[in-house]
Amino acid sequence: MNQMSILERRRIEALVLKNVYEVIRERSGEEEAQAAIGEAVSRSAIEQGKSFADELGRTPTIQDFADIQPLWTKENALEIDVISQGEDHFDFNVTRCRYSEMYREMGLGHIGHLLSCNRDGDFCIGYNPEMKLERSQTIMKGASHCDFRYRLDKTEDNTKGGGMKEVALTGRTDR
C-alpha cells in the first residue's frame, strides 16, 4: 500500500468530499447529501478492504487484521487500548481519535461519522466477509471512547458477510 498515512489520506479525501457534499446539499438537501457521501465512502471502504486482502493473497485472519492496525494509528492518529485478542476476535477501545479532531477542525464534524467511522465495518466486507464489527459508541458522536469489537463469524448462515452492527449508536444494523 501507499506510504501516505491513512490520516493524511482521509484529510485529502475530506477536502474533496466537503465540496461534493455542499453541492449535493444545495441541490438536493441535507438528507440526500449525507446519503450520497455515505454510499460513496462505503464503496471506497469495501474496495480498500478488498485491495488489502488481494495484497495478502489469502483470506485474512484476525491476526492479519491486527497486524495492519499500525496503518491507522500511524502519526498517533489513534490511541488504542487492546482489551482482548484471539483467533476469532479483536477487541480494543480508541481513547483518542485524531480523525475526529481533524474533521471537527475542518468544519466537518457533523459528517465525520460518514467520512471515517462508517468505513470501519464496511472495510470488513471487502477484507474478509466473515469479519464483523460491533460498536456501541464513538468519540465522533461524543463518547469518551470508541469500543471496537471485531468478530470472525465462520457459521454457515453467514450469507451477508462483513459489515458493522452499531448498537444504540445510530440505529443502523448490519450493512
Report the CATH number that the domain containing residue 145 is assigned in CATH: 3.30.1380
Q: Are 151 and 132 in contact (CB under 8 A)?
A: yes
Give the number of domains in the chain. Answer: 1
Is 16 within a domain?
yes
85-112 residue pLDDT tens: 999 999 999 999 999 999 999 999 999 9
Q: Which residues contact 120 (CB under 8 A, 6 or more apart)?
A: 45, 133, 135, 148, 164
The answer to whether residue 171 sits within a structural domain is: no
First to last CA, the chain: 26
Please indicate, yes or no, if residue 174 is contained in any of the structural domains. Answer: no
Q: Which of 1, 137, 148, 6 is nearest to 77 (CA)?
A: 6
56 in any annotated domain = yes
- Looking at per-residue pLDDT, the higher value among 167 and 49 belongs to 49
Amino acid at 91: D
Q: Is 15 a domain residue?
A: yes
Tell me the per-residue pLDDT of 1-14, one tens digit each, with 9 for 90 and over: 457 899 999 999 99
- Does residue 173 form part of some domain? no
The three cell numbers of residue 167 are 448498537
Structural domain harbouring 109: 6-166
For 115-168, write each residue's pLDDT tens digit. Answer: 999 999 999 999 999 999 999 999 999 999 999 999 998 775 544 455 655 443
The fraction of the chain above a pLDDT of 90, given in percent, is 85
Cell triple for residue 142? 461524543
Q: Are strands 164-166 and 131-135 parallel, antiparallel or unpaired?
A: parallel
pLDDT, tens only, 152-166:
987 755 444 556 554
In-domain check, residue 40: yes
